[in-house]
């Protein structure tokens, strides 16, 4: 099996080829478009990996693709639900049994879709909170014994939506704000044990599943124009930030948030004309996964 074109560029050329030799990364949401590139970059730089995902066949397929990126690379594809703490404990145990250790943890499992407060059900709000927040907490708890041994690094994949009021993203904004707070507390509690905890906050990243689910082409063109650097980001930009934080260069960075968005959050605002889009009864449509009826949510 050959790697997909999506893995052609996973990181910048400045990093040493064997930077992470003999290290092991465990990543929830590791079969997703951003997280898989983060893991791919680490593999190319010498690491072995375990990726966790709910869809067994897809997770296994991505793991097989990742294993082709470096001769001798070992990559586990483990099916589990981050809301189930016992399945994560088993996944961490399997990773250590087969790969020997856990040095790096990436908590990247997340859920998202567009919905107004009127469209969003309590169950839908809870589902996102459970995946993003409870799932992040669960994987830290599962990996903590091994991270204490390796004096490892924790990295949460967050967002910038909650830095401003972002309409139709109340569920994700609340979840990511909680993830940021979780990381800050872990940085203080685990720092004395030699473990760092940080956050990487991607802006709009081209070619990702999140972009395809959340926005139309016309909206993304408006996002591009409003971004100070006048372009969308690439998944490898997130991987570069990950490499920095996991490398010796980032060893004294703890409890911080690295925003990788080209300056976009400083200008992020509303879909369409504010406040008309909120007052004219507009229903969010044309987004994959949404039912398109007022009062209904995806979950």
Residues taking part in catalysis: 158, 176
Question: Are the beta carbons of 163 and 177 closer than 8 angstroms?
Answer: no
Question: In what order do the strands lie in the sheet containing 153-157?
Answer: 75-79, 48-53, 24-28, 104-107, 153-157, 196-202, 257-260
* C-alpha span between 54 and 31 (Å, rounded): 9
Tokens representing 273 are: 């004309």
Query: Crossing angle, helix 135-150 and helix 170-190, to 10 degrees?
Result: 20
Residue 155 φ then ψ, to 5° = -135, 125
Burial label, 174 (beta-carbon count in 10 A; 0-12, 13-18, 19+): middle
CA angle 19, 23, 27 (to 5 degrees): 110
Cα-to-chain-centroid distance, residue 185:
19
């Amino acid at each position: 099996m050959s790697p997909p074109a999506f893995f052609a560029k996973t990181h910048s050329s400045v990093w040493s080829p064997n930077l992470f030799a003999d290290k092991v990364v465990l990543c929830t949401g590791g079969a997703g478009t951003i997280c898989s590139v983060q893991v791919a970059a680490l593999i190319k730089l010498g690491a072995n990996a375990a990726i966790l995902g709910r869809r067994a066949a897809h997770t296994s397929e991505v793991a097989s693709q990742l294993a082709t990126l470096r001769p001798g690379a070992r990559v586990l594809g483990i099916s589990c639900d981050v809301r189930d703490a016992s399945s994560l404990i088993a996944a961490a145990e399997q990773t250590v049994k087969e790969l020997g250790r856990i040095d790096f943890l990436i908590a990247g499992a997340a859920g998202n879709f567009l919905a107004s407060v009127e469209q969003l059900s309590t169950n839908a709000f809870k589902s996102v909170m459970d995946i993003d927040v409870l799932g992040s907490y669960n994987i830290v708890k599962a990996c903590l014994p091994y991270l204490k041994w390796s004096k490892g690094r924790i990295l949460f994949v967050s967002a910038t939506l909650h830095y401003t009021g972002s309409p139709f993203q109340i569920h994700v904004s609340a979840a990511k704000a909680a993830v940021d707070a979780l990381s800050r507390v872990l940085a203080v509690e685990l720092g004395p044990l030699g473990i760092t905890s940080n956050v990487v906050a991607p802006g709009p990243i081209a070619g990702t599943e999140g972009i395809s689910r959340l926005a139309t082409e016309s909206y993304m063109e408006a996002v591009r124009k409003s971004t100070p650097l006048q372009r969308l980001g690439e998944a490898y930009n997130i991987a570069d930030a990950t490499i920095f934080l996991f490398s010796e260069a980032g060893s004294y960075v703890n409890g911080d948030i690295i925003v990788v968005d080209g300056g976009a959050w400083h200008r992020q605002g509303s879909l369409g004309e504010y406040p008309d889009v909120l007052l004219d009864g507009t229903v969010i449509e044309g987004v994959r996964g949404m039912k398109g009826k007022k009062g209904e949510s995806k979950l």
